[in-house]
Amino acid sequence: MTRLVFETTDADKAALAAALEPAGKTFTDWFEEQLADTITPVQLDLAASCMPEAQHPKDLADPTRVATDIQNADWSFVNDETGFLTHDIHPYPAKYIPQIPANVIRRLSLPGELVLDPFGGSGTTATESVRLGRRAVSVDANPLATLIGKVKTAGIKDDDRTELERLATAVYTYSLESSPVPNLESLRDWIPQIPNHEKWFSNSITAELACIRRLIEELTSGRAKNIAYLALSRMIVRVSNQDSETRYVSKEKNHPPKYAIRAYLESIKAVRLRVERFSQLCTTSDATFHSGDSRFVMRNDIAPESVSLIVSSPPYPNATDYHLYHRFRIFWLGHNPKNLGDVEIGSHLKHQRKNTGFEEYVEDMSAVFRDCFNVLSAGRYAVFVVGDAVFSGETIDTAAGLAIAAKAIGFEHVTTVERPIHETRRSFSAAARRARAEKLLVLRKPEELKTYSLSPTVYKLWDYEQILREREVKAILGEVVNKAPLNGDWNAVELSPAERWKLNRLTFTSGYHTADGLPEKTWQKLLENGDSDTSKRKEPKYVTHGLHAYKGKFYPQLAKSLINISNIEPGSVIFDPFSGSGTVALEGYLNGFQAFGCDMNPLAVKIAKAKTEILQLPQSAVDRSLAAFSQSLKTSAQLYSNSSDQFSPEISDEIKKWFPEKVISKLNWLLKQIRLFGEDRLVSFLETIVSDCIREVSQQDPTDLRIRRRALPIEDAPLIELFLQKLETQHRRLQHFWSVSSRRPFAFQAPNIIHGDSRETVTFEKLGLGENSVDAIITSPPYATALPYIDTDRLSLMAILGIPSSVRKSVEERLTGSREIATSDKNAFEKILYDEHASEALPRKLIDELKEIHQKNIADGAGFRKLNMPSLLLRYFLDMKANITNTQNVLRADARAFYVVGNSKTKVGEDWFPIKTTEWLMEIGDMVGLRASRHLDISVTTENLRHMKHAITENAIIQFIK
């Protein structure tokens, strides 16, 4: 700890004391609030790790290794900050410091898993679970504990802010000198029935508290009401006649009029500050709270085997009486503390009244342990932080007693570790009853093999998707015991607890369950449809996959299934050398892989980065920014000037050629508003949505892939309305992602996507991909002369990225699969085609076919496009060979590369000549040292666009193995 000394005048000190006194705050309270208001959570080391963090289920499989890590850790945390975020939002006796559950959660669970605290208390475990990307379920018999936990973990939304501001304003009016004090008689309905009420609360304080309670009920709801009531609860002891938080005796305090009103305003301000800080740092929150007796609640409200970790600090035996400590708070919240006292485990008064000892405590805890054993997954851990018991002056080893009881139920005892108790720990307990030390009791539910049934998708699969499903199940889980569907389900091989998590990886499986367990949904099902079972359609645009239209991309489910079939595990490196709009990169991010990608199309790179980077920004910042921007566009007066300052002079003429003047004004205005944001990734995301509107508001024919003008020019277009529609769709998809992201089974890893050419080794150097560094390659390369990628996106490249026609032309000519070729290059490739060494570079039969096309076109007097075709195809296959050679170099031994490719055709004379891309690429792979095979033929879908006569006629997945 560091001591700070500040100098000020006597007058300023007196003025500050006068301002703090009505709210009952000390100089220390005030200074800590200033610190909290100044230092952001990201500037603090919230809970430093004292153990290695689990990265994979195998890190949890060995209890001996777990025991060693726990035994070697330093559990004292003497100088650590324990009140960060919402942890100090409300007084609570004997709570354990957040560093303990934080480290246990990191070491003994994985992201997205469910963590249970059967004695939730003030929500320390739940808060740390949410902060660390897990889900939480908390049980406590104290209704105040439930309220504290909900407020600590739920965050705050704009609707809550509005309600709380209205409440604070209403309460503030009662603090004015001109306003009368609240009338006690008119507020009787809001006063709880507290025995000896007058002993503990003066009439004026009672009236003020009743007034606040009435306003809370009238003006707030849901999350805002919880925040408001917690603010009321945290200042009850201060305004009452109870001597202090830890001394339960009456002492008249003679508070001045409106003292409780002013104290509440300070309290709600402090609560809101902490909740706001939590919302800024914790982008997702999935915490459930059950108010009830831990000996009975779990069996009804928590599914068997659904919990991955239990972390708890149970009441210490014969130590604290929570119902007494929180007595007045519970009354003012509308509950009866007697109900808590009747079921409170370890209560001193209860033991004293019944004349019972440690045996009753063990009996109560055994009832809890039995339900904990039932809900905990096999092979997983339960950690209880317990203190030694003191009965009649005799110290009893609580951990040892509970370990015996737990083993009788079926738990394995992993280890017990002692840690010192801070001397300053607040307690009602007399010194003779206080524990001298506390221990971490670590238990484990024994491993057990279970058979899981795999439920198919809610939508009908294509035949090739059924095959992909079988192959990914085999790659991830091994051989399937019964492949014959039984009520649409498959029975999978028996899985150990360390393997169960693999079920979440499946693409074409919606859920899984055991014979006696409730069904669980796969990560893919959650991403596509959440918990809904009503949707019967495949959703290819989940998260940000639908951010921008992009011709020729392959859909995300296919990309994910191929990643699975690659037989690699999360954390592995995947690479897409033709990353396009970022389908593989986004799937890599969503499924815990290190994803790399490159593409030569600048717009493709922008789209891919926009899709993935927006997910890496704080949810609260993105959510509020998008909502505010949308509302601003809907309500503000939009004054479009004739300015075009968002476009460089190089593209000015082109802009005027392809957009009506009114659209140019709107486009310029919209881009200017977007570029006022200070976060480049947010700007890029919004610019990408604008780009997706470009085709529809231009003079380009939206049904034509190439750059052809509309038959009937437009004079205006609803750009802002179209942008708003797309923005709200994307915002809604992001919100859905945020709502399920706490259930992710993998840690997200930021992708690395660059503008680069996979034919050049320098691109791999920029990505940091060296020899044998890539675990799998998944890609859908450009098909031979099939799509005019740059021409299709010409207007976006110009209007959004500011790229003039000369630069675009150069990019298009260099693209793999381009239809464009300069005459000099055409002549050079023809020379290569007829060179006697041509068959050394490419398969001989391919060279012969290209010669045949060339000679027939010359004989038929074909036009320049047909005459260009042999050179274009030769260039394409040489480009693909350069790419495949580079990928062969970076692939590790035995790793797989999947190329989704298609055959096409070209007209020679009056006949169609097949371009057997699949066959030639397989032969090229063999030439460079890869084992090539045709993995699977897949279905083809077409769009209602022109140039379908050149469309791909067959799609296939090629597998290369190094």
Structure confidence by residue, pLDDT tens digits, 801-817: 999 988 988 888 888 88
pLDDT band per the 50, 70, 90 thresholds, residue 715? very high
Structure confidence by residue, pLDDT tens digits, 257-316: 999 999 999 999 989 988 988 887 766 678 999 998 888 889 889 988 899 999 999 987
Per-residue pLDDT, 321: 59
- Is 951 a residue whose pLDDT tops 50? no
Contacts of 400 (CB under 8 A, 6+ apart): 416
CB 920 within 8 A of CB 846: yes
Reduced to 3 states (helix: H, G, I; strand: E, B; else coil), residue 76 is coil
CA 408 to chain CA centroid, nearest Å: 39
Q: What is the dihedral of CA 328, 329, 333, 338, to 10 degrees?
A: -60
Residue 390's closest CA among 349, 416, 358, 366?
Answer: 358
Per-residue pLDDT, 37: 58
Contacts of 162 (CB under 8 A, 6+ apart): none
Q: Which residues of 280-411 form beta strands (DSSP E)?
A: 287-291, 307-312, 376-387, 389-391, 394-396
Per-residue pLDDT, 882: 96
The neighbour count for residue 851, using CB atoms within 10 Å, is 16
Answering whether pTM is above 0.75, one says: yes
Residue 34's closest CA among 47, 21, 25, 22?
Answer: 25
Classify burial at 189, counting beta carbons within 10 Å of its beta carbon; exposed 0-12, middle 13-18, buried 19 or more.
exposed
- For the four alpha carbons of 692, 693, 698 and 704, in that order, the dihedral sign comes to positive
| Residue-by-residue DSSP string for 116-144 | EETT-TTTHHHHHHHHTT-EEEEEES-HH
CA 472 → CA 460, 505, 507, 914, distances in Å? 17, 9, 8, 32
Residue 186's closest CA among 202, 164, 206, 171?
Answer: 206
Structural tokens at position 310: 């239990």
Per-residue pLDDT, 667: 96
Residue at token pair 């890893």:
749
The neighbour count for residue 693, using CB atoms within 10 Å, is 25
Q: Where are the alpha helices (DSSP H) in 800-912?
A: 805-814, 823-833, 838-841, 844-859, 864-890
Q: What is the dihedral of CA 717, 721, 726, 728, to 10 degrees?
A: 180
CA gap 360, 228 in Å, rounded: 38
| 117: amino acid identity, one letter | D
Residue 164's closest CA among 231, 209, 237?
Answer: 231
Structural tokens at position 854: 């060339």
Structure confidence by residue, pLDDT tens digits, 835-880: 989 889 999 999 999 998 888 888 888 788 888 888 989 999 999 9
Per-residue pLDDT, 43: 40
Strand-pairing partners, residue 932, are 960
Q: What is the dihedral of CA 158, 160, 166, 168, to 10 degrees?
A: -120
Per-residue pLDDT, 685: 98
Classify burial at 670, counting beta carbons within 10 Å of its beta carbon; exposed 0-12, middle 13-18, buried 19 or more.
buried
- Is 799 a residue whose pLDDT tops 60? yes
- Is 562 a residue whose pLDDT tops 90? yes
Query: 3-class secondary structure for 190-237?
Result: HCCCCCCHHHHCCHHHHHHHHHHHHHHHHHCCHHHHHHHHHHHHHCHH
CA gap 508, 522 in Å, rounded: 9
CA 517 → CA 223, 302, 509, distances in Å? 32, 11, 17
What mean pLDDT comes out for the span 218-225? 96
Least confident of 371-375, 379-383, 489-493, 533-537: 489-493
- For the four alpha carbons of 667, 669, 671 and 673, in that order, the dihedral sign comes to negative
Structure confidence by residue, pLDDT tens digits, 906-925: 888 778 888 889 999 999 99
Contacts of 756 (CB under 8 A, 6+ apart): 598, 599, 600, 762, 763, 766, 767
pLDDT band per the 50, 70, 90 thresholds, residue 946? very low
Least confident of 12-26, 833-847, 892-906, 927-941: 12-26
Structure confidence by residue, pLDDT tens digits, 448-463: 888 888 888 888 899 8
Running DSSP on this structure, what letter comes out for residue 51?
S
Per-residue pLDDT, 865: 82
- Is 393 a residue whose pLDDT tops 80? no
Structural tokens at position 611: 């899709």
Residue at token pair 């220390």:
28
The neighbour count for residue 770, using CB atoms within 10 Å, is 11
| Residue-by-residue DSSP string for 725-784 | HHHHHHHHHHHHHHHHGGG-SS-----EEEE--TTSHHHHHHHT--TT-EEEEEE-PPPT
pLDDT band per the 50, 70, 90 thresholds, residue 629? very high
Structure confidence by residue, pLDDT tens digits, 571-582: 999 999 999 999
Least confident of 190-204, 492-506, 558-572: 492-506
Classify burial at 296, counting beta carbons within 10 Å of its beta carbon; exposed 0-12, middle 13-18, buried 19 or more.
middle
Per-residue pLDDT, 548: 96
Contacts of 307 (CB under 8 A, 6+ apart): 114, 115, 116, 137, 372, 375, 376, 377, 380
Residue 443's closest CA among 407, 401, 389, 400?
Answer: 407
Structure confidence by residue, pLDDT tens digits, 13-42: 777 776 666 555 666 666 666 665 565 544
More reliable by pLDDT, 77 or 901? 901
Per-residue pLDDT, 661: 94
Per-residue pLDDT, 488: 54
- Is 428 a residue whose pLDDT tops 50? no
Structural tokens at position 214: 């009435």
CA gap 417, 410 in Å, rounded: 21
Residue at token pair 């808060």:
127
| 141: amino acid identity, one letter | A
Helices then strands (H, E): number in the chain? Answer: 39, 24
- Measured in degrees and rounded to the nearest 5, phi and psi for residue 961 equal -125, 130
Residue 885's closest CA among 786, 960, 783?
Answer: 960
- Strands 931-938, 412-420: parallel, antiparallel or unpaired by DSSP? unpaired
CA 801 → CA 401, 643, 754, 811, distances in Å? 69, 18, 15, 14
- Average pLDDT in the chain: 86
Residue 24's closest CA among 195, 270, 229?
Answer: 270
Gyration radius of the chain over CA positions: 34
More reliable by pLDDT, 947 or 510? 510
- Is 824 a residue whose pLDDT tops 80? yes
Structure confidence by residue, pLDDT tens digits, 72-121: 998 887 666 656 666 788 888 777 888 899 999 999 999 889 999 999 98
Where residue 740 falls (left for φ over 0; alpha for ψ -120 to 50; beta otherwise) is: alpha
Strand-pairing partners, residue 575, are 596, 777
